Amino acid sequence: SSGINAEWPLRPGLQCGANIEFNVGRDITSITASCPRDKASLVLDHMTQNLVCPEFFNHELHQAKVDALHQTGVALSDPATIMMEEANRLAYRGTGLGRSIYLKAGNTGAIERNTLLDFAAENFKDSNNIAVVGVGLDPENLSGLADEYLWSLEGGSATVANTTWTGMQESQIEASGNGALAMCLVEGAAAGSQDALVLGILKHLAGAGGSAITHGGSHSQLISAAAPYTQSPFNTQCVNINNVNTGMFGLSISAAGEEIGDVLKSSYGVMIGLNDGVSDQALETAKNKLKLELLSAYESNLAVRAATGLESIAAGSPSSASQLCGAIDSITNEEVIEAAKKINSSAPILVSYGNVESMPLQRELQ
């Protein structure tokens, strides 16, 4: 259901010199804390208690709702956020991931203290769906702290969001200006799975990220295929989004409104072409790009915490950087072909935003 993106009162933790944040995602909610190492036990105790029996009053919700509505306004002024909201709504229509994570003005009256307490009891009291990640802590010490403070969550609810992919949906959102955005997505793979790595290879085979090359022939397949059909600046890339038990995979495109259809059709053709496989050299290059992408994510504590927590919940345990690189090296051309055929025969969703008069329909992409 729509949630409030605000911090719960964590005053005792703040008194320990900790910086504590409560962050709401589409399928992961995290409480992160930066604190002195000798205060980790006390801070983890307070964080757990705020899950088991959160403390707040109705009068405290007023400012939280104001802040959440402000966050909604800021977030939904970004076309990229609007696109992802619509993509999830279409892809998981009527199920957990299909619901907005942003508070709407019409919902504020229905949210009160008991509403949030019931939500916490239903969603935050299952120890099997909780990961404790520590950076700068001894692993045995962290494991002992988790055992000590998470025992009270054992036997709690085991709420698992329904993530049924609907597919074969499309939506056009008109907006001012000449530019247009489009996303064509199919069901992807869950975080921590081998399938997610294979789709990561496919992403880099087709093209991931914007092209910074102005001369020469080193553009991605997607950029090279679309370039003959464009006169204005454009970008087309492959995206691989991994959630706890599902994912999204496909194309993300920006172009002039009158050219968006041609860029989308040419990009769609590139993805179909992957059904025939690629050269050994192209596969090796894609593997190296994926390894660089994953290793780069391990360079910040924030990214390490996020990736480790997501993999722990999705796959049961996180993978080390060396394990990930080994798994990537083991991927074969046959696996890539199988994955390409699977995604190209899946039911897609198509979302566009901006000047959408020249957007093709799904059936026109076949």
Nearest to 290 by CA among 330, 337, 343: 330
Average pLDDT of the chain is 84
| End-to-end CA separation in angstroms for the chain | 35
pLDDT at position 18: 67
Burial zone of 29 (CB within 10 Å; 0-12 exposed, 13-18 middle, 19+ buried) = middle
pLDDT at position 330: 96
Q: 44-87 pLDDT, tens per residue?
A: 887 777 777 777 777 888 888 999 999 999 999 999 999 999 99
What string of DSSP letters covers 233-250? --EEEEEEEE-SS-EEEE
What string of DSSP letters covers 92-140? TTTSGGGS-SS--GGGGGG--HHHHHHHHHHHS--GGG-----SSS-HH
- Dihedral, 323, 328, 332, 334 alpha carbons, nearest 10: 110
pLDDT at position 11: 47
Kindly report the pTM of this predicted structure.
0.85
Q: In the predicted model, is pLDDT for residue 124 greater than 50?
A: yes
pLDDT at position 7: 42
Burial zone of 56 (CB within 10 Å; 0-12 exposed, 13-18 middle, 19+ buried) = middle
Q: In the predicted model, is pLDDT for residue 120 greater than 50?
A: yes
Q: 215-251 pLDDT, tens per residue?
A: 445 578 999 999 999 999 999 999 999 988 899 999 9
Query: Using 50, 70 and 90 to split pLDDT, how confident is the model at 16?
Result: low
With a CB cutoff of 8 Å and minimum separation 6, the contacts of 199 are 188, 189, 240, 247, 249, 339, 343
**Count of residues for the chain?**
366
Nearest to 4 by CA among 111, 123, 160: 111
pLDDT at position 300: 78
Q: What is the largest CA-CA distance in the chain?
A: 63
